[in-house]
Amino acid sequence: MSIKQNLNTILEAIPKHVTLVAVSKTKPVSDIMEAYNAGHRVFGENKVQEMVEKHEQMPKDIEWHMIGHLQRNKVKYMASFVSLIHGVDNLKLLKEINKQAQKHNRVIECLLQIKIANEDSKFGMSAKDASSILQSSVFAELKNIKITGVMGMATFTDNNTQIKQEFESLKNTFDSLKTIEVSNFKPETISMGMSGDYKLAINCGSTMIRVGSSIFGARNYN
Ligand SMILES: *Cc1c(COP(=O)(O)O)cnc(C)c1O
Domains, the chain, in order of start with CATH, read 3-216 (3.20.20.10)
Measured from the Cα of 198, ligand 1's closest atom is: 9
pLDDT band of 123, cuts 50, 70, 90: confident
* CB of 187 sitting under 6 A from ligand 1: no
Based on the number of CB atoms within 10 Å of its own CB, is 127 exposed (0-12), middle (13-18) or buried (19 or more)?
buried
- Using DSSP's 3-state secondary structure scheme, residue 90 falls into coil
Q: What percent of the chain has pLDDT over 70?
A: 100
Among protein residues, the one whose CA lies closest to atom 6 of ligand 1: 212
pTM of model > 0.75: yes
pLDDT tens digits along 164-203: 999 999 999 999 999 999 999 999 999 999 999 999 999 9
Q: What is the mean pLDDT of residues 26-39?
A: 98
As a whole number of angstroms, the distance between CA 55 and CA 38 comes to: 18
Measured from the Cα of 194, ligand 1's closest atom is: 9
Among protein residues, the one whose CA lies closest to atom 11 of ligand 1: 210
* CB of 65 sitting under 6 A from ligand 1: no
Distance 196 CA to ligand 1 centre (A): 9
pLDDT band of 221, cuts 50, 70, 90: confident
- Closest by CA position to 40, among listed 65, 18, 22: 22
What burial letters (b/e) apply to 65-95, b meaning 16+ CB within 10 Å? bbbbebeeebbeebbebbebbbbbbbbebbb
| More confident site: 122 or 153 | 153
pLDDT tens digits along 73-101: 999 999 999 999 999 999 999 999 999 99
pLDDT tens digits along 47-69: 999 999 999 999 999 999 999 99
Average pLDDT of the chain to the nearest whole number: 96
Q: What is the mean pLDDT of residues 200-213?
A: 98
As a whole number of angstroms, the distance between CA 190 and CA 174 comes to: 7
Q: Is a pLDDT exceeding 70 seen at residue 222? A: no
pLDDT of residue 120: 76
Of all helices (H) and strands (E), which one includes residue 42?
A: strand 42-45
- Using DSSP's 3-state secondary structure scheme, residue 30 falls into helix
As a whole number of angstroms, the distance between CA 21 and CA 194 comes to: 10
Do residues 111 and 88 make contact, with C-beta atoms less than 8 angstroms apart? Answer: yes
pLDDT of residue 122: 73
Among protein residues, the one whose CA lies closest to atom 10 of ligand 1: 210
Measured from the Cα of 213, ligand 1's closest atom is: 8
Measured on CA atoms in the order 121, 20, 67, 180, is the torsion positive or negative?
negative
* CB of 210 sitting under 6 A from ligand 1: yes
pLDDT of residue 165: 97
* CB of 215 sitting under 6 A from ligand 1: no
